[in-house]
Structure formats: structure tokens, C-alpha cells
Amino acid sequence: MKQVLEYILTLIIQKPEDLVVTETIIDDLNIQYLITANKDDVGKIIGKQGKIIQAIRNIAKIWAAKNNKQIRIDVS
């Protein structure tokens, strides 16, 4: 899932070299992803009214449901 997030985000942002996706496995069921990007790109990741990040979270939820996991995605 980390590679999928990185791929999607590099298509959206202007400075992909500043993108860092950190995966933290909390336990057997929970995974947290922290997206860190250039401050100019954070707005593009979030999108108008949060629509872009919500779409990314929905893709992650589909993957999580297939793999019996729970995913949390945060942007900083």
C-alpha cells in the first residue's frame, strides 16, 4: 500500500523529491501512514474541501477491507 500511496501522490504534487510516506504497523490489524511533503504541496494533497485526501483514504480503505486491516492516513 505504501508504494501505491507514493505513486498516487507523486502524480499530484510539484516536488516529489520532498515526499516521504512513513508506514507504522501498530499491531496485526492497524497500520498508520504519515504523508510528509513540501508545505506548498500539502494543499494539493488535501484538495478543495478535503476531496483529494478523502479519495486517497477511500482507496486505502478498499485495500484494507480486502486484507482485514484498518488504515489511518495523516498528512503533515
Give the domains, in start order, of the chain with CATH numbers: 2-75 (3.30.300.20)
- On the 0-12 / 13-18 / 19+ scale of CB atoms within 10 A, 39 is exposed
Give the per-residue pLDDT at 59: 96
Q: How confident is the model over 19-71, as pLDDT tens digits?
A: 999 999 999 999 999 999 999 999 999 999 999 999 999 999 999 999 999 99
Give the per-residue pLDDT at 46: 96
Give the per-residue pLDDT at 17: 96
Residue 65 Rama label (left phi>0; alpha psi -120 to 50; beta): alpha
Distance CA 49, CA 63 (A): 24
Give the per-residue pLDDT at 62: 97
Query: What is the H or E stretch that residue 71 is in?
Result: strand 70-75
Give the per-residue pLDDT at 57: 97
Give the per-residue pLDDT at 39: 93
The size of the chain, in residues, is 76
